[in-house]
Amino acid sequence: MKELMLGNKAVARGLYEAGVEFVSSYPGTPSTEITEEFVKFDDVYAEWAPNEKVAMESAFGASLAGRRAFCAQKHVGLNVAADPLYTMSYTGVNAGMVIVVADDAGMHSSQNEQDSRRHAIAAKVPMLEPADSAEALEFTKLAYEISETFDTPVLVKMCTRVAHSQSIVETGERKEFKKDYEKNIGKYVMMPGNAKKRHPIVEERTRKLAEYAETSPLNREETGGTWLGIITASTSYQYVKEVFGDSVSVLKLGMTNPLPENLIKNFAKKVERLVVVEELDPVIEEAVRAMGIKVEGRNLLPGIDEFSQNKIRAAFGKNFGVGESLEDAIPPRPPVMCAGCPHRGLFYTLKKLNCTVLGDIGCYTLGAVPPLAAMDMTLCMGASIGALHGFTKVNNEAAKNTVAVIGDSTFVHSGMTGLANVAYNQSKGTIIILDNSITGMTGHQQNPATGKNIKGEPAGRIDLEALCRAMGINRVRVADPYNLKEIEAAVKEELSVDEASVIISRRPCALLKEVKHKAPLKVDKDKCIGCKSCMKIGCPAISMKDKKAVVDANQCVGCGVCAGLCPKNAFSGVEG
Amino acid sequence: MMETKNIIIVGVGGQGSLLASKILGDLFLTKGYDVKVSEVHGMSQRGGSVITYVRFGDKVASPVVDEGEADFIVSFEILETARWLSYLKKDGQIVTNLQEIEPMPVITGAAVYPENLAEKIKAKGVKVDALDCLDLAKQAGSAKAVNIVLLGRLSHYFDIDEKLWEEIIEKNVPKKFLELNKKAFQLGKNA
């Protein structure tokens, strides 16, 4: 049956048709929907793991047990899971093991723009790159064949424009797959003596994979005009076809590691000018140049941001027109914390107290946006607590006004080990866990602190208070960020004590279905003096009209944080 | 060979552009076209400026629409219409909600929301079909139906049977909101 399908859903469909039984992932844009879509099939198992490393190790275990297994993550998630990946390359697999890594050129929802192809090369594992949903489905299935034939984990690289674009796919039937587990110490126990014997096998495998790449249907030559030959892959292929159609020759690579040297050399011989069109790092270009072939690429197109058809047109000197624009300055519209976001009251308080705020990855990174602007650092998952430890260790005074802020899901992902360091090596900062009972930014996924599994069914639940105490933090308290007085008192007190403490700022995400909203607030125009105190929290539901505050009833959820700031009690409608 | 047609749907994250693009994608697929729809999830869905691309034709390559390529801009908010104006092709058509949603820099006073945007865009010689979709959506029963009101208005520009539009909408909205959405479609169409 033909249907229009999101790239990520097509991967999930491919997993299903390939007979995959086990999927374990940690959510991360743009990879999240693969796991969310896969779990909708009957008789399969999928889960949210605490982080990407655990997810990949769990999938490896399932492969070892003889079932086709899978994990997905965004590009930076693969950094977390790099440790198991690099040695799984040595052990190989039992049943097929496929890993999706989703890059985010253009950084639509990421903290860096790294190119995951570098991981494939360094880990010495094959990498496939689909260019649309149909290929996402087909390549995923084929990846399992490659994994089992060559005894290797296989990386499938998605990118935002393939993961989050819908195009037409044709679906097939599921084929079940089962294998037995056989003990094999030399293959699966990677201690030096065994690993030394496995490394040559890895090198030989890469040689065989390169041979396979020469004739694999994954790589194809599309013969057109010979005045220009373009080597390309992934979504860049689509932009090339959009601009040039069949007027140039194209070598489309569906497998970008290892590269088919002879195929590339033969293609280069047929064309007058050879250009590689690839987003981010010049990985293919450098490899082609190392083959002794004259090639262009980075001289025409930048290694920054994603491509589009106009960028390709500009690079090749082709004309294109752009539409009208107004003389007015168009104000930017950056993302903001939602109306009723429980993080808002906390960040208002941290700004008021002039705290140094070491941040983390999640919706609360938006605490850095004006007018709150209450954030000093954001690096990677879990870094807030590690950085707080170092920051306060070298400057005892700093502990009196420096905090780490980290979400519930991020804390479980990789904040726990940072807290272990704080407790063990005795630093004195204040850690604030923003427990909104969900993984928010990626679109509401359950996690080990919510008590529900990926299907929303009851599951195990980490007791965050008990956990922090068990790790050796003596001062652990809970405060409600909707209650500005309560949260301010908690932050002030914990900053003043001469030991590490944890504040759990607890209030579920206002977008959760089970959260009941209160009636929108109203402003009494006679009472409002236009002092703009309520504007300091940066709520998108509040604006000024004719020097009086106005609440947008469509957005307001009645959280009442603004009312707590009004010196004239001009807000009404707060219940209880 | 039919030239690929390009639609961009622009608005503020959370306004319902993903449903609008899903319905358009399904509609053109049913009509037998090759279709691509490209969306952005994650960070920008939190109240930021968002753009979704819908392309259809005999054979569609790129999943995105670039500046100067859009046959239609379907906009949920008038400042966003102005922001993405350069994406409109010469002789392209705009279908826009007149609603104004202030972005944070305007709320904080760091920037000014420009006045009379619809008139200024028209003064550029651009074809603009502007209507108060929020009011019509509320008339239909929910402020959230702005997306379907817009699609109702957009339906004027396509030679596609109204029944098919309704069938596709039915496939994509929960049953309990079907009547509301049908009403929203009609209100937009007849506005």
> Which among A310, A335, A543 has CB closest to B107?
A543
Domain ranges of chain A: 2-215, 219-315, 343-506, 522-572
Q: Provide block-wise average pLDDT over 10 residues at a time, chain A (576 residues).
A: 93 98 97 98 96 98 98 98 98 98 95 98 98 98 98 98 97 97 98 98 98 98 97 98 98 98 98 98 98 98 97 97 96 93 97 98 94 96 98 95 98 98 97 96 95 97 98 98 97 97 97 93 96 94 93 92 95 68
Cβ distance A543 to B42 less than 8 Å, yes or no, reads no
Contacts of B24 (CB under 8 A, 6+ apart): B7, B9, B37, B54, B151
Cβ distance A322 to B85 less than 8 Å, yes or no, reads no
Q: Which residue is associated with the tokens 């896969």?
A: A38
Per-window interface: A 248-307 vs B, CB < 8 A? none
Select from B61, B48, B36 the least CA-distant residue to A332: B48
Alpha-carbon distances, residue B97 vs A198, B132, B133 (angstroms): 63, 5, 5
Select from A276, A259, A279 the least CA-distant residue to A218: A259
> Which among B44, B102, B124 has CB closest to A108?
B44
Q: Chain-centre distance of CA A463, in angstroms? A: 26
Per-window interface: A 335-354 vs B, CB < 8 A? 335-338
CA distance B156 to chain A (A): 23
Q: Give the residue on B whose Cα is nearest the Cα of A312.
A: B66
Contacts of A140 (CB under 8 A, 6+ apart): A10, A11, A14, A15, A18, A98, A130, A156
Phi, psi for A483 (deg, rounded to 5): -100, 95
Cβ B3 vs Cβ A129: under 8 Å: no
Give the whole-angstrom CA distance, residue A226 versus residue A249. 6
The answer to whether A319 faces chain B, any CB pair under 8 Å, is no
In this prediction, residue B108 carries a pLDDT of 87
For residue B82, which residues of chain A lie inside 8 Å, CB to CB?
A: 326, 328, 330
In this prediction, residue B123 carries a pLDDT of 97
The answer to whether B124 faces chain A, any CB pair under 8 Å, is yes
> Taking the complete model, does pTM exceed 0.80, yes or no?
yes
What's the CATH number for A2-215? 3.40.50.970
In this prediction, residue A427 carries a pLDDT of 96
Cβ distance B108 to A370 less than 8 Å, yes or no, reads yes
In this prediction, residue B160 carries a pLDDT of 96
Q: Give the residue on A whose Cα is nearest the Cα of B86.
A: A323
Best of A76, A166, A509 to mutate (most B CBs within 10 Å, chain B): A166
In this prediction, residue A424 carries a pLDDT of 98
In this prediction, residue A1 carries a pLDDT of 76
The answer to whether B33 faces chain A, any CB pair under 8 Å, is no
The answer to whether B168 faces chain A, any CB pair under 8 Å, is no
Give the whole-angstrom CA distance, residue B121 versus residue A287. 49
Element (H, E) at B55: strand B49-57
Contacts of A42 (CB under 8 A, 6+ apart): none
What does the DSSP 8-state code read for residue B175?
G
First to last CA, chain B: 34
CATH superfamily of B5-189: Pyruvate-ferredoxin oxidoreductase, PFOR, domain III (3.40.920.10)
Apex A419 CA angle, A415 and A422, nearest 5: 145
In this prediction, residue A576 carries a pLDDT of 40
The answer to whether A309 faces chain B, any CB pair under 8 Å, is yes
> Which among A3, A164, A369 has CB closest to B104?
A369
CA distance A330 to chain B (A): 6
Give the whole-angstrom CA distance, residue A400 versus residue B143. 47
What does the DSSP 8-state code read for residue A449?
T
Domains A2-215 and A343-506 equal at CATH topology level: yes
In this prediction, residue B14 carries a pLDDT of 83
Fold of A219-315: Rossmann fold (3.40.50)
Fold of A343-506: Rossmann fold (3.40.50)
The answer to whether A235 faces chain B, any CB pair under 8 Å, is yes
Select from A372, A473, A374 the least CA-distant residue to A430: A473
Cβ A307 vs Cβ A239: under 8 Å: yes
Helix axes A192-215, A82-91, angle to 10 degrees: 80
Give the whole-angstrom CA distance, residue A342 versus residue A519. 17
Give the whole-angstrom CA distance, residue A516 versus residue A519. 10
Q: Which residue is associated with the tokens 């950056």?
A: A334
Give the whole-angstrom CA distance, residue A537 versus residue A526. 22
Can you read off the two tokens belonging to residue A335?
Answer: 């993302």
Query: What is the helix, strand, coil percentage profile of chain A, to 5?
Result: 40, 20, 45
In this prediction, residue B16 carries a pLDDT of 87
Domain covering A522-572: architecture? 2-Layer Sandwich (3.30)
In this prediction, residue A454 carries a pLDDT of 98
Q: Chain-centre distance of CA A556, in angstroms? A: 29
In this prediction, residue A237 carries a pLDDT of 98
Q: Given pLDDT bands bounded at 50, 70 and 90, which one contains residue B44?
A: low
Contacts of B65 (CB under 8 A, 6+ apart): B6, B7, B8, B53, B55, B87
